[in-house]
Structure 1
Amino acid sequence: MHAMWMSVTETIKCGGKLIDVWPQQQKPVKRKCNRTSFEKKTHYYEVTPRENPAINSTFQHKYPRRRWFYELEIGDPSRNVIEKIFRAASTNPSKQSRKIKKVLRVNNTVDILEKFEKYRETVKRRSFEHKYNNNMHPRSIVDGNELLQFHVTTMTCYSGKKKIISEICKDPSCCVCRLLQSGFRNSRDGIQLSTSSDAPCERASRFSNRKNVKRAVIVCRIIAGRVVNKDNINLGEEYDSVASGLHLSSQCLIVKDSSAVLPCFVIVLN
């Protein structure tokens, strides 16, 4: 599963180009019209919104500055890999494969990617300073102990009639959009993730019968850093993430810093 995931991240890198984030300025278009001899000496051009602030609002509405999602169609190689990873991380793969409705790639901005990489370097530097600590994970020095994790939640802005999802909605109850908009900073007690793609979600169970509420799984890259067991945390001990259960490979992982989480894909389920 790790090899499949690396093939996707190397190809897509969970981010977009600058032109995907900011709209390109349109080139002036020469307007054809019947002109007099005097007018022939003058060139007429369509005015772009940046030259005329009066129509900036119209331009911004027509050309949004941020496209949050790109839908991966059925048969897309990246979607096929994500579905395989999703099923491999499920306790019931055959059931989960039938539930996938849409797969969306998150279009992370350059700032978000830089913040994620900056946090990685911070963890690596801190790990190197404590490299002789017996509890330090060796991968923390190499890549910050990067892991593939799932965050199970709900999405309300998708309905069967809506064919394309490209922007976040304004519904305060849509957890996917609010988490992405805030950069996962809504979680006061840390960000709960899991190695299982069908981990229990209290909110999903509570609102499963409501109209247009869909169960959604956010596929994330995370910098776990130094991981400690929640039952063995010592006072004053430094750590980056907390694992539940008897082993550090437990399904549940709580990350303290939102900069450690990079959402890459959203899987919308039936």
Structure 2
Amino acid sequence: MFLLDDWFSGADISERKKMVFLTVSELGPEDTSRNIIEIIFQSSWLKKQSPVCAVDRILKVHNAPATLARFEAYRDAVKARARGGRPGAGRCTADGNELLRFHCAALSCSLGAGGATHLCDAASSSCAACGIVRDGFKFRAPGVRTMATSGRAHDDAVAVGGEEGEGGEGERRRAMLVCRVIAGRVKRRCEGTAEEAEASPSAEEEEYDSVAGTAGVYSSLDELEVLNPTAILPCFVVVYKA
């Protein structure tokens, strides 16, 4: 009789496990989670000069148990440092200062189309969305950038990587990752004003976990660069036409 453990044996054990656990499933119109995510996505687009983009499909990410464990372990480490008396800990002692953030990624496949639950071979297709869902975020100095709004995340991705995406002109699709983020202790960049300088920790203070850019209309942490990619857990993927 064929056993799942037998299938996991062999040189490609890690890849086979990823195929089982790191999959996505499409949320239907009747799903409460889908409605909530779509409302959050659309309401934070904040592009008054242009129509709100069209949502094509919303997918739920089924993270591997090991991925969830690493995320929770990082949260516990942040909370432990906060309980140790680190200045400015704030919410860190309660939940690690967890936030809901957006990260836009290029999509070069039909992820989730037609009820498909598999990820493409991101290594050969350069599909950033599938690569993140499969392998997590990769650290790039100064950190992994996340945004408080979907519109800012889209603009940032376009500015960095251009207009890559699945589909032709007029129906280009991109993937917006809705993520849980353990922000931990946040360092604010000093932008030259007395108020911001006072809010920013000095170089002599203890280490921080993320760095915030300037405040925006929607949030005081409109832009946030997370120093440890383990602190970011993709939970939903909004595939939309830009």
Q: What TM-score range do you get, normalising by the shorter chain?
A: 0.7 to 0.9
How far residue 171 of structure 1 moved from its aligned partner, in angstroms, is 3.6
Alignment of 1:51-90 (within 5 A): 65-90=20-45
> 135, 140, 164: which is aligned to 2:115?
164
- Residue type matched to 2:142 in 1? D
**Greater CA deviation, 198-207 or 214-223?**
198-207
Q: Match for residue 132 of structure 2?
A: 179
> For structure 1, which runs of at least 5 residues remain unmatched after alignment?
1-46
Question: What is the match of residue 228 of structure 1?
Answer: 187
Give unmatched runs, 5+ long, in structure 2.
Answer: 191-199
Q: 74, 93, 107: which one pairs with 1:119?
A: 74
Q: Given the superposition, is the C-alpha separation of residues 213 and 192 from structure 1 closer, same or farther in structure 2, using an over 3 Å criterion? A: same
In the alignment, what sits opposite 1:37?
none
Equivalenced residue count is 213
Amino acid at match of 1:191: V
Matches within 5 A, 1:128-207: 128-131=83-86, 133=87, 136-158=88-110, 162-172=113-123, 173-199=126-152, 200=155, 201=157, 202-203=159-160, 205-207=162-164
Shift in CA distance, 208/116, structure 1 to aligned 2, threshold 3 Å: closer
Distance 1:179 1:159, change over 3 A: closer
Deviation at 1:49, TM superposition (A): 5.0
Return the offset for 1:164. 2.4
Change (3 A) 1:112 1:159: closer
Considering Cα pairs closer than 8 Å and 6+ residues apart, tell me whether 1 or 2 has the greater RCO.
2
- Aligned CA RMSD, in angstroms, stands at 3.1
Describe the superposition over 1:41-68 as per-residue Cα deviations: whole angstroms up to 9, x where unpaired: xxxxxx3256988xx9xxx99xx53351
TM-score (structure 2 length as normaliser): 0.76
Over the matched positions of the two proteins, sequence identity in percent amounts to 32
Give the Å deviation of 1:188. 4.2
- The higher radius of gyration belongs to 1
State the one-letter code of the partner of 1:65.
Answer: V
Give the TM-score normalised by structure 1. Answer: 0.69
* Aligned partner letter, 2:151: D
Deviations along 1:97-122, one digit per CA (max 9) or x if unpaired, are x5100100000111111111111110
For 2:6 and 2:93, the matched residues in 1 are separated by 52
